[in-house]
């Protein structure tokens, strides 16, 4: 089930980030995004009432910047990521999405490229000691 994230989901999102990414945007960041930022749109995907993934966007008009996109490791390659992304595009009538991904994250890069995202440019040392690749998707 895909739905918009609620304040009570913040701790589960934080735990998911720590489990999969080994780092987090932080619970206070997530709280301010959900409570205070009018451009933030966050979705979660549940399986058996457990949050197994989430997608965070900042949407202005029909354009979005993707902040984070995480699917629990044991549920990757099961179609949840595609459904979550497709839902966000449809619900927000998105025409363009931009994002950064670690150069070393080949699995995520393959996912984005398969979904039609194109490499735009490199942001050197975007992730402390690692370059980020900027991807753009256009409808």
Residues 43-67: pLDDT tens digits?
999 999 999 999 999 999 999 999 9
Which contacts of 72-81 are long-range, i.e. CB under 8 A and separated by 24 or more positions? 72/16, 72/19, 72/20, 73/19, 73/20, 75/47, 76/107, 80/45, 80/47, 80/52, 80/53, 81/53, 81/111
Q: Are strands 50-60 and 63-71 parallel, antiparallel or unpaired?
A: antiparallel
Amino acid 32: pLDDT: 96
How many Cβ atoms sit within 10 Å of the Cβ of residue 133? Answer: 21
pTM of the predicted model as reported, rounded to 2 decimal places: 0.94
pLDDT above 90 as % of the chain: 95
pLDDT of 128 higher than 90: no
Instruction: List all residues 6 or more positions away from 115 whose beta carbon is below 8 Å from its beta carbon.
Output: 82, 85, 137
Task: Please state, in angstroms and rounded to a whole number, the distance separating the CA atoms of residues 126 and 135.
Answer: 14
**pLDDT digits over 8-45, tens only?**
999 999 999 999 999 998 999 999 999 999 999 999 99
Task: Please state, in angstroms and rounded to a whole number, the distance separating the CA atoms of residues 18 and 74.
Answer: 15
């Amino acid at each position: 089930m895909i739905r918009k994230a609620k304040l009570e989901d913040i701790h589960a999102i934080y735990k998911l980030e720590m489990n999969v990414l080994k780092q987090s945007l932080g619970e206070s960041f997530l709280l301010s995004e959900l409570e205070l930022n009018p451009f933030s749109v966050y979705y979660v995907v549940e399986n058996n009432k457990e949050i197994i993934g989430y997608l965070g966007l900042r949407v202005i008009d029909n354009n979005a910047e993707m902040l984070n996109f995480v699917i629990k490791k044991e549920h990757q390659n099961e179609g949840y990521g595609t459904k979550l992304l497709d839902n966000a595009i449809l619900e927000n009538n998105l025409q363009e999405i931009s994002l950064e991904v670690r150069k070393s994250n080949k699995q995520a890069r393959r996912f984005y490229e398969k979904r039609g995202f194109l490499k735009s440019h490199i942001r050197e040392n975007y992730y402390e000691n690692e370059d980020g690749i900027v991807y753009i998707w256009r409808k």
